[in-house]
Structure 1
Amino acid sequence: MLDLMTTVGGHSEILVGREADLASLRETLRRVRAAEPAVLLLGGEAGVGKTRLVEEFTRGLAGEPVRVLTGQCLELGEEGLPFAPFAAALRELVRGEGRTVFEGRESDFARLLPELGPASEFGEAHRGLLFELVGALFARLSAERPLLLVLEDLHWADRSTRDLIGFLARSARAPRMLLLATYRTDELHRGHPLRPFLAELERVRGVQRLEIDRLDREGTAELLGHLLGGEPAPRTVDAISRRAQGIPFFIEQLAATADPACSDIPETLRDLLLSRVDLLPEPAQRMLRTAAVGGAELGHELIARVAGVDEVTLESALRVVVAAQLVTFDPDGGYEFRHALVREAVHDDLLPGEHTRLHARYAEAIEADPQLVPPGRAPAEIAHHWHAARNHPRALVTAKHAADEACRRFAYAEQASLLARVLELWEQVPEAAELLGACHLDLLEEAALVAIESGELHRALSLTRAALGDLDADAEPLRAARLLVRRAKLLRNAGKSDGFAESKEAYRLLAAAPPAADRAELLGDVAYMFASMDGDEVDRISEHVRASAGQLGDAAPQVWAEITKGQVCAGRLPAADGLPVLTTAVEQARSRGDDPALTRGLINVSDVLFELGRYEESAAAAAEGVPYASRYGLARTTGVYLLSNQAEALLALGRWDEADARLAEAARQDPPGLMALPWLRLRARLRLARGHPGAEPLLTRAVGLSGKPYVPGEKKLWMHELRIRAALAADDMAGALAAADAALHDAALLERPRYAWQVLAVAAHTVARSRDPARRPATSAPGSVSAGEVEQVAGRVRWAADRLPRRYPAELAGAAQVKAELASGTEPPVIAERPGGVEPAGSAELWCAAVAAWRVDGQPFELASALLRCAEANAADRAAAAASLAEVTTIATGLGAVPLLDEVRTLARRLGVRPAGAGQPADDVLTAREREVLRLVAEGQSNGQIAQRLFISPKTASVHVSRIIAKLEVTNRVEAAAVAHRLGLLTT
């Protein structure tokens, strides 16, 4: 137990029952000192002692070389105060070490600390650059000495604060930094935004979650002993334990009541919290009510202005509430409620008129002198107080002002919330347009754009619909087209429709509009939307884009037009033809510093390079675009596509761990709607290939998305392939065959050869496995498939393969693999004798060709899979089969492809070999006697007949048969005989 420090006025400084929690904090800091960054999420109910624990932890660091910074989230309603805890922490840093800590970049950090001076212009850069600056600062500080960053009351955090915490935890991992965040667990209702944030953050390496428990009866008794200055009576302990239920703050409040025995316990929690207040003189109670309206923290001058009393009266009242341990003060002249629950109870107890009057006085005081609150907080606080005061005109204007300030800080979620308030107030303020200097349509369009940037797609859809309903499209064609294009993209991303009707109407309006930079860009968007819907129209629109850009004589629209042409070509022309256009446009964008165009172009460049089989270049192009997407606020959309493209190329290169890291990064962005499918598809496929149990929830989520009313053709092919692979992994041949049949009937199959060959390859593999007698269930068994059904699917695979092009390495290899798969199992292996060995014929030759094609393409997993099938088809040449299996083993081990390794072991046992080079020399798995027995089993002999033929006992024959079944990993004699025939084990 920790030593007692002080007991003053009913407030114990002792920490009771928290030894293990304190030890956990110290152990985490010890790891941080060893350059292992960490995030500790400290949760617990209100009043359970989170802050007390953190205070004790930081107090124990006094004199140690650890830099401690603290910031607190503020309760200002849904609109929040962007980055409030980080601003407070940086302000503390400046007070302690001076402005030089920013190394001349004060203007960059002025977005968080306005007192540093005018903020630098980031151009069109979004908050990604701000995040990078904060991350770099913390990394530099932690390099000097360990950094402890404490963020209190995360349950009140705004979206921007949560995003910055996520960035620091995932991307900007300062080597010796411990980020310690506290939050109330009892505040996290089902829809609270912190719940999914904490769940996702907890999956990040180095993030630990620690919840503070309530005190038990013994802990309650110990704390009461310190508070009362002596051993409490058992009845007192029982009563308080029953009422306080182990919450230290409640125990303290009960112990501080007028009754020394603590028997006079209020019936409700609110009564408990207010009972201490009721004991105060009326001037002190009035001062406490005034302070409660101002928030958890506020300055002396602000209270004085709002209270409207003379200095002597003010100080007298404040002295009383401080002495009552309800409010604390700091040397800088600020006041803070010792516990937020007290402030909440006092605020909720205000009379309606008192509530309105006090909030209005706070708003007026801060408007008159914004310096009364910390720099940067005035707009949000003023908006909050006018809204609470129900002054609709002032609430409207100040909410719009606060929204603009949130935009300046790149706090899009808070901006969206504030704009929603403005829209709600619009109808209640007749002069709204005059007050804001903008029409309702301007506001709707701005709110829709912000909703998109904050990832609220459904709200953005509602706002664009409302805006289009208010708009005269023919009078404002550019605005109407902009809203229509935006809505078309939203509908596609949400999976609600293809957006064709909106795109077509936008094109009609743009065709008649005068030349403008916006017009050229919007035409490009329309062309891109048309590319997958109307091939006859898209070329004409694409040329229209280029002509429109040329009319302006401005290079920027022309670069954008070239990017658009390249995107359209990437979807409709061979990759080799579209790449030169794209690379030229990307180089132009790079040379001009046009980062948005560069980012958009790099997505398509990486995509085309992948199709051409240039996987290293594809990965590099996607990686180049990722930082730009983050910097320009597009991490959840464009950034996810870039990360997925990079991961896909890394998968093709066999760098699976790197790919998984990129996919994890994409997952953390939580992309909305169908934008999640790229990373879901690739990570599910990776986990299936590795035999990872986490594949199923990804598949379930992906399949759910694919069931939306509209899904683009290529994404449908992704899902067909995943369904087939998942069924095969579960050894569900009927399910795999049904999924393959559905894929082969999808019209999208012939539209995108790159993905179609992947579908055909796995469908053909399903056919080959279904033909295998050892795998096919009996015809009468549940889920069985007939030979006729199998051959129908095989015929459809051939039909589609005959119509797909074979231009690039992966397409050529896919075609070779499909041909070999379809030849497998159609007839017994043909063995032709030749000097020095045997020569495989039939499917073996085709599998050798498939192996050669995959070697040219270079994808190791596909090569290993083909090698495995080649070894199976080439069973009669056991030395060659063993060499192939050894290579498969090497590749699969490096990739972590556990199912593939299992198949290698199974086939090696069935072939009677150990893969040469896999750790042991080639050797028979079946003994000579077991081969003799297997030959007789294949002839249909019973155990008794085998015993007579080999002059052994029936029991010995039975033992041999059991061992053969085990070694071949089959379930009965019939399957063993089928394996023997198929692999040619009976010919040697």
Structure 2
Amino acid sequence: MTSTRPASPTDAPAGQAAAATPRAAWHDGDVPTLSAPSPLIGRAAELDSLREAFTNARAGSGGVVVVGGEAGIGKTRLVAEFLAGLSRDAGDAGEAGPLVLHGQCADSGSGPLPYAALTGVLADAVDALGPEATLEAAGPAADALGVLAPGLVDVRRDVDTGRLPEVLADLACALAVARPVVVVLEDLHWSDDVTRTVVARLARSAPRTTLLVVATFRSDDVGRRHPLRTTLAELERSRLATRVDVPRLDADDATRLVAALVATTGRAPDVPGTVLAQLVERAQGVPFYAEELAEFAGDAMPDSLRDLLLLRYSSLSDAARTFCRTVAAAGQRAPHELLVAMLGVAGLDDAESAAREAVEAHVLVADADGYRFRHALMQEAVDDELLPGEARRLHAACARALEEAGRTFADVAAAADHWWRARVPDRALASAVEVVTTAEADGSTSTAVVVGERALELWDLVPEPERVVGLHHAALLRHVAVALQDAAQIDRAAGLAREAVDEWPADDPAGQARALSTLAHILGKAGDAGSDGLLDEALALLPVEDHAGRAPLLRLKARNAMMDHRDDEAVAVAGMALDAARAAGDAQNVSLALNLRAMSRLNGGDLDALAELDTSREAAGDDWRAQCHYYTNASDSRLKLGRYVEAERLAEQGATIARSLGAGWATRAMLEGNVAEAWIEVGRWPDAEAWYERSVPLIDPSDYAVYLGERWTWLTMWRGDVDRAQAIARARRATWLRFGRVEEQIRARVAGTLAELALLRDDLDDALDLISIATDRRALSPFYRLTTLAVAARVLDRARAAGRPVDVAPYRDALASCTVWPTYPTWAALFAAELGDGSWEAVASADGPAHLRPYALYRDGASLLAAGDRATARERLDAAAQAADAIGCGLVAAQARALLDGAGLARGGRGGGRAVDRALTERERQVLDLVAEGLTNGQIAERLFISRKTASVHVSAILRKLGVSSRTEAAVVARSDPS
């Protein structure tokens, strides 16, 4: 049960063609390998959707089609007909046709079998191209494929298996250069997390290629909490997947199908119409049920679904039923070697005839190297037929055979499940612990979580479990906690990590320190400020001379301080980490400590720290982790300093190295994210938006997911899709604020973005609360203080216009404390202009982020319009719209044009009265007139006898409909009289 494909490609040594797999005596080639397919009726629309998707892919616009439907509805049959049609079309045209790579997910009985579908996809690629060509097409990170095929690539424990989704996507896209490629992934309801990530990665790679991905899943098995729902929802939201739902057949199509099926039995003339009608009724529009019922037309009808599923099986001989039960115990598919191990030598005598009988009865399907049931529902029903003793014997045989096989992660995970089902607690526990302790390296988080939780359940059932598994209970808790953290189940992870700390043996201080470090790391991921205290405890357990143990702990503590803007502490602790790393001869931590100290100095305003940052690159040598930190922080520092072109160059340089090394997506995303941020600052907004759209959904829940998610939301807002930005912020606000408690970058940017969104919905209370952080020098370093103060000034100006008593002095003092920062002149000019103390022309001509010029022109135009200078206002607003269009800043472009239109200044305007009269309801026009008089929401509520909340809702609707950003601009529109 280790693969859905023949083992030969994966067993071949690297660079050699795989030898043919010898057949067993009972599988001599006479056994039919495929039964005749049932007729495909009532699926014309679904088939057309698949064919259209392939036509688009062949033209260079690949994509993903997700085929959903209940069990037995005919998803596999539909896909098979689609593929057969492609083959026929290619044959008629004298062409080779597309390359089809097929994989099928599998269920181990208590969770997904890791990599099942991916192993099949790789095996098909190797079958079609050969090992050497496959590795070449996979690119520099091809060694990650060793997780799926140890015989194809040597498996090394230091291989970054997190690269596997990228490698497979790169492989499929590389193959699609020569000819169209169709990747079929069946039964995603049984997918593991790696497979779901592959689907997402393929979806984002396919649109500009000749690659088509067809994925199927049982809709009735994907509940509200199923992890596949998140993947599918994200693909559909991003318009990266086309959904094809396969419904039950209507009465006419069901009747046609039943009649056609009965005709194949040769009994059609003898079956009365009433029996056909009864068959149609009992089939309930499900093709698989129709197939089973038609085989027994005219005989007694089954009383239940279980009886229906077992109809064909029940008619077999005892030997054939025994063979089928053996196949069912093996799982979704039973390879030849596994069946030999399970049947034993004595069982081989009857196997040949039994196998042939089961295949000819359409219960099993034979392929080149094993058997599977014609439908998964049938396998599940036969599996339930196993007697307790029989089940234990067969599952134990499966487990032993798998343990004697290649010992891949998938083998060990499958063996753990079979030992569990065989009710052998000690072997089940040992296998489960092996899965959990190796899962981090092999990247299968979902399997590790399921098996890890089971190991904890088994622990008390096994005598002397420490002797059986070679570790104590606290160590197992720590490993399971890490798996849960990787699966983003942070609360459960923290709970188990705390248990591990509490249970850790007192005579193992080094182990206690590791346990505390694990808990600190998990709490840091959760945005919990308790991480530092735990690191202090861990350090207290280690002797001062344990430099190797202390260096990473001190580095993590310095990182926490840096991220929280405790710069002096960060500099000091990073220096201690540097001393420890040097004493231990730990080059990687030497570089990382230098990097942390330099960034902490820089954040505090010491610009000479850039030299030390460059020194960290020299210390990194060839160590990629240290190099990655350098390029990430070096580019980030240039972004803060306003050196955007240099920032892009450094980030892209790091990303290029990452790609050449085949580095995992997590590290590449950090570097490419800085490239995207540089694009925002220089005005390449469509490019940046495309990157975020393609990449952010692939980031696991983490602090970095918050960084990217917030920037994407900010960009979405300024691109003009305010409603979407508001929705994203509402959904993620609590998470953002939680992480902001311990990370300066998050709290500053989240405060600014949420405040801007609050202004757009006229929620001054929320905006004022959010921007108060700008006055706290302990919370923000100069750069983040400056950017937050710029938003704060806008909020304060809006509050004063609404008659709110606000104290601007603390914000001016905070601004004065930032003069050391190189970008101070730009942000100070914006601060002054927002509060009416400076000119918008100064902002428009300043050297700053690209959006400031169109925004400043727009605000200048609005001010001129309010002052009555309509001619100059028109020039400024026209220039604002054009400058905004140039970078894709839809928010400013829309606001500028709405103001022009509302004031009757739009060139080639529509006429027909004021824009305000066309856009607003009668009640909104009443509210707008009162806004123009300078009334606050409370005063408007009193005047119109409505609640303050209702008044606020009306004002928000007015701002949105008129495309203006403030009450002042709305008042200008209200007073305008078009000339």
TM-score by length of 1: 0.81
> Does the 8 A contact of 1:867 with 1:888 survive in 2?
yes
1:161 aligns with 2:191: no
The equivalences for 1:446-845 within 5 A come to 446-472=479-505, 475-510=507-542, 512-531=543-562, 532=564, 537-571=569-603, 573-574=604-605, 576-589=607-620, 592-625=621-654, 635=665, 641-672=670-701, 674-692=703-721, 693-706=723-736, 708=738, 711-712=741-742, 713-730=744-761, 732=762, 735-736=763-764, 738-744=766-772, 748=776, 751-770=780-799, 785=802, 787=803, 789-790=804-805, 792-802=806-816, 804-808=817-821, 810-823=823-836
* Matched residue, 2:843: 850
Q: Among 207, 219, 227, which residue is 2:253 paired with?
A: 219
Partner of 1:694, secondary structure, is helix
Partner of 1:430, secondary structure, is coil
Between the aligned partners of 1:166 and 1:810, the Cα distance in structure 2 is 39
Between the aligned partners of 1:174 and 1:409, the Cα distance in structure 2 is 30
Between the aligned partners of 1:849 and 1:545, the Cα distance in structure 2 is 45
1:316 aligns with 2:353: yes
Deviating more after overlay: 690-699 vs 304-313: 304-313
* Matched residue, 2:882: 890
Question: Displacement, 1:150?
Answer: 1.6
Q: 1:410 to 1:907 in 2, by over 3 A?
A: closer
1:421 aligns with 2:435: no
The equivalences for 1:267-306 within 5 A come to 267-300=303-336, 302-306=338-342
Residue type matched to 2:79 in 1?
Answer: V
1:356 aligns with 2:369: no
Question: Displacement, 1:344?
Answer: 0.1
Question: Displacement, 1:601?
Answer: 2.9
Between the aligned partners of 1:72 and 1:975, the Cα distance in structure 2 is 61
Question: Displacement, 1:563?
Answer: 1.6
Q: 1:355 to 1:570 in 2, by over 3 A?
A: farther
Partner of 1:116, secondary structure, is coil
Question: Displacement, 1:109?
Answer: 6.7
* Matched residue, 2:918: none
Between the aligned partners of 1:59 and 1:980, the Cα distance in structure 2 is 63
1:252 aligns with 2:280: no
* Matched residue, 1:865: 855
Question: Displacement, 1:339?
Answer: 0.6
Between the aligned partners of 2:285 and 2:970, the Cα distance in structure 1 is 70
Residue type matched to 1:278 in 2?
Answer: S
> Does the 8 A contact of 1:640 with 1:669 survive in 2?
no
> Does the 8 A contact of 1:25 with 1:57 survive in 2?
yes
> Which 4+ runs in 1 deviate beyond 6 A?
7-11, 104-107, 627-634, 968-971, 974-978, 980-983
Question: Displacement, 1:660?
Answer: 1.6
Question: Displacement, 1:625?
Answer: 4.6
> Does the 8 A contact of 2:558 with 2:573 survive in 1?
yes
Question: Displacement, 1:48?
Answer: 0.8
Deviations 1:226-259 (A, max 9, x none): 11124765533443333221110001111112xx
> Does the 8 A contact of 1:717 with 1:756 survive in 2?
yes
Question: Displacement, 1:517?
Answer: 3.1
> Does the 8 A contact of 2:775 with 2:814 survive in 1?
no
Question: Displacement, 1:700?
Answer: 0.4
* Matched residue, 1:89: 121
* Matched residue, 1:344: 380
Between the aligned partners of 1:746 and 1:856, the Cα distance in structure 2 is 23
Residue type matched to 1:728 in 2?
Answer: L
* Matched residue, 1:957: none
The equivalences for 1:901-940 within 5 A come to 901-908=893-900
* Matched residue, 1:119: 154
Residue type matched to 1:695 in 2?
Answer: A
The equivalences for 1:432-443 within 5 A come to 432-443=465-476
Between the aligned partners of 2:146 and 2:493, the Cα distance in structure 1 is 27
Between the aligned partners of 2:401 and 2:539, the Cα distance in structure 1 is 52
Question: Displacement, 1:819?
Answer: 1.8
Residue type matched to 1:744 in 2?
Answer: S
* Matched residue, 1:838: none
Deviating more after overlay: 811-820 vs 606-615: 811-820
1:23 aligns with 2:48: yes
* Matched residue, 1:261: 298
Q: 1:628 to 1:450 in 2, by over 3 A?
A: farther
Q: 1:617 to 1:138 in 2, by over 3 A?
A: same
Residue type matched to 2:819 in 1?
Answer: R
Question: Displacement, 1:439?
Answer: 3.2
Q: Among 130, 153, 177, which residue is 2:211 paired with?
A: 177
Between the aligned partners of 1:311 and 1:491, the Cα distance in structure 2 is 56
> Does the 8 A contact of 1:809 with 1:856 survive in 2?
no
> Does the 8 A contact of 1:687 with 1:695 survive in 2?
yes
Aligned Cα root-mean-square deviation (Å): 3.9
Residue type matched to 2:876 in 1?
Answer: S
* Matched residue, 1:32: 57
Q: 1:77 to 1:346 in 2, by over 3 A?
A: closer
Between the aligned partners of 1:898 and 1:976, the Cα distance in structure 2 is 18
Between the aligned partners of 1:90 and 1:8, the Cα distance in structure 2 is 22
Question: Displacement, 1:428?
Answer: 2.0
* Matched residue, 2:13: none
Between the aligned partners of 2:119 and 2:176, the Cα distance in structure 1 is 18
Residue type matched to 2:234 in 1?
Answer: E
The equivalences for 1:25-104 within 5 A come to 25-62=50-87, 63=91, 64-65=95-96, 66-102=98-134
* Matched residue, 2:422: 389
Partner of 2:72, secondary structure, is coil
Between the aligned partners of 1:517 and 1:171, the Cα distance in structure 2 is 42
Which stretches in structure 2 are left out of the alignment for 5+ residues? 1-31, 916-928, 933-957
Question: Displacement, 1:352?
Answer: 2.4
Residue type matched to 2:815 in 1?
Answer: A
Q: 1:249 to 1:720 in 2, by over 3 A?
A: same
Between the aligned partners of 1:173 and 1:400, the Cα distance in structure 2 is 41
Partner of 1:61, secondary structure, is helix
Q: 1:711 to 1:241 in 2, by over 3 A?
A: farther
Between the aligned partners of 2:273 and 2:777, the Cα distance in structure 1 is 78
Residue type matched to 1:865 in 2?
Answer: Y
Question: Displacement, 1:408?
Answer: 5.3
> Does the 8 A contact of 2:439 with 2:448 survive in 1?
yes
Between the aligned partners of 1:207 and 1:189, the Cα distance in structure 2 is 20
Question: Displacement, 1:678?
Answer: 1.7
Partner of 1:540, secondary structure, is helix
> Does the 8 A contact of 1:170 with 1:204 survive in 2?
no
Which stretches in structure 1 are left out of the alignment for 5+ residues? 1-6, 773-784, 824-842, 927-936, 941-964
Q: How many residues align?
A: 880
Q: 1:46 to 1:914 in 2, by over 3 A?
A: closer
TM-score by length of 2: 0.81
* Matched residue, 1:775: none
Question: Displacement, 1:868?
Answer: 2.1
> Does the 8 A contact of 1:297 with 1:334 survive in 2?
yes
Deviations 1:446-484 (A, max 9, x none): 3334444444433432332122112256x5444433433
Q: State percent identity of aligned pairs.
A: 32
